Amino acid sequence: MKYILLMSGTKAGVDTYRAWSKKDIDGHMAVLASLNRELTESGEFVVTQGLAGPHEAKLVRGLADGMPVTDGIFPESKEFLLGYWIIDVATPERACEIAARISTAPGPGGIPTNMPIEVRQFAIHVPQS
Amino acid sequence: MKYILMMHGKKADWDEYTRWSKEDLQRNVDYMRSFSKELNDGGVFVDTKGLALPHEAKIVRAGQNGEPVTDGVFPESKEFLAGYWVIDVETPEQAYKIAARASAAPGPGGKPANMPIEVRQVLGTHSDLGF
C-alpha cells in the first residue's frame, strides 16, 4: 500500500530552519539521505520531493474566461507543504515507523526535531467514466 | 521547471463533497480525467494523485526511543491535502494558467467550483535543496 508522508511548516518555522548553522543542516540532510538509501534498498522508496519556500507560494483561481487570478497572501498560521515522501509499504504501522524516523532527523545541536509528519493514504476508489 | 498544484480542503469540505450527486461527481471526475489527458498530450504532465479521506489521516512523531507516536486529532480549521498534479513547464505563468483550469473544474450543477489551487515550485529531492 502506498502512503504519502507530508512535512509541513509555517513561514516562521521555515525562517527558523533557514537560520540553522551549516553543520546542523548538513547533519539533518545526511540522516534524511541515509533514510532514502535505506528505503531504496528495502524496495519501499517511491519518490521524495522538496518544495520551494512558502514565500514564493501562490494561490490561483480561474476567472469565467479561464484567466488565472493569483494571490500570494496567506494567514500566518498556514501550514505550507515543505516536502514529501511517497512510500510503498506492507502495513500502515510500517508507514508510521518511517514517519517517526523522519521525525527523529536531527535539528540544531544534533537534537531530534521531533517534527510532526502527516501520514496519508492515496484514494483507492475513483468512479469510472 | 516543475510545479506542484495542490487542492486542499477542511474535513467539512470533504463531507460536503461526498454528498454531491452521482451526476455532479461524474462530471467533476470526467473533467479531471480529460484535464490530465490534455496535460499529458501537451507534454507537461508528471504525476497526479488523489489522497484518501482526511478522517484516516495521522500525525506521527517519534517518541523517546524513536517509536512512532500517532495522533489523529486535528483542529477543524486544518486544511488537508486532497490531491495534486505535478507539471513540468517553462514559466510560472504557464503553471498559473494550468492551475486556473483545475480551479474551473465543475462543482454541483456543473458550475465551476472555483476552488483555490496552491502553486509551488518543486525543487527535487530533499537533499538537493541546498539551503
Partners of B10 on chain A (C-beta within 8 Å) are none
The predicted pLDDT at position A125 comes to 58
* B34-81 pLDDT per residue, tens: 999 999 999 999 999 999 989 899 999 998 888 999 999 999 989 999
Name the grid cell of A42. Answer: 528495502
DSSP of B104-126, one letter per residue?
T-B-GGG-B----EEEEEEEESG
According to DSSP H, which parts of chain B are helical? 11-18, 22-41, 92-103
Closest residue in chain B to residue A126, using alpha carbons only: B29
The predicted pLDDT at position A128 comes to 44
State the Cα–Cα distance between residues B8 and B83, nearest whole angstrom. Answer: 7
Does residue B19 surpass a pLDDT of 70?
Answer: yes
Q: Chain B contact for A73, CB < 8 A?
A: no
The predicted pLDDT at position B128 comes to 53
Mutate to test the interface with A, among B46, B126, B127, B131 (most CBs of A within 10 A): B126
The domain ranges of chain B are 2-126
For chains A and B, count residue pairs whose Cβ atoms are closer than 8 Å.
182
CATH fit for domain B2-126, picks 3.30.930.10, 2.20.25.650, 3.30.70.1060, 3.80.10.10 = 3.30.70.1060
Cα A93 to Cα A5, A98, A100: the distances in Å are 13, 9, 10
| Contact (Cβ atoms closer than 8 angstroms) between residue B15 and residue B55 | no
Q: What is the maximal distance between C-alpha atoms in chain B? A: 53
The predicted pLDDT at position B124 comes to 73
Name the grid cell of B113. Answer: 467550483
pTM (2 decimals)? 0.92
Domains contained in chain A, CATH given: 2-121 (3.30.70.1060)
Closest residue in chain B to residue A73, using alpha carbons only: B118
Q: Which member of A6, A62, A93 has the closest CB to residue B104? A: A62
The predicted pLDDT at position B129 comes to 52
Q: Chain B contact for A112, CB < 8 A?
A: yes
Q: What is the maximal distance between C-alpha atoms in chain A? A: 54
Report which residue type is found at A73. Answer: I
ipTM for this model:
0.91
SS3 (DSSP) at B70: strand
**Residue spans of chain A under pLDDT 50:** 127-129
The predicted pLDDT at position B126 comes to 52
Give which of B89, B81, B83 is closest to B3, Cα–Cα: B89
State the Cα–Cα distance between residues A86 and A63, nearest whole angstrom. Answer: 33
The three state secondary structure string of A56-72 is HCEEEEECCCCCEEEEC
Contact yes or no for B70 and A96 at CB 8 A = yes
Closest residue in chain A to residue B57, using alpha carbons only: A120
Q: Chain B contact for A61, CB < 8 A?
A: yes
Q: Minimal Cα–Cα distance from B70 to chain A, Å?
A: 7
State the Cα–Cα distance between residues A80 and A118, nearest whole angstrom. Answer: 12
Give which of B121, B125, B85 is closest to B1, Cα–Cα: B121
Q: Minimal Cα–Cα distance from B119 to chain A, Å?
A: 5
Eight-state DSSP code of residue A30 = H
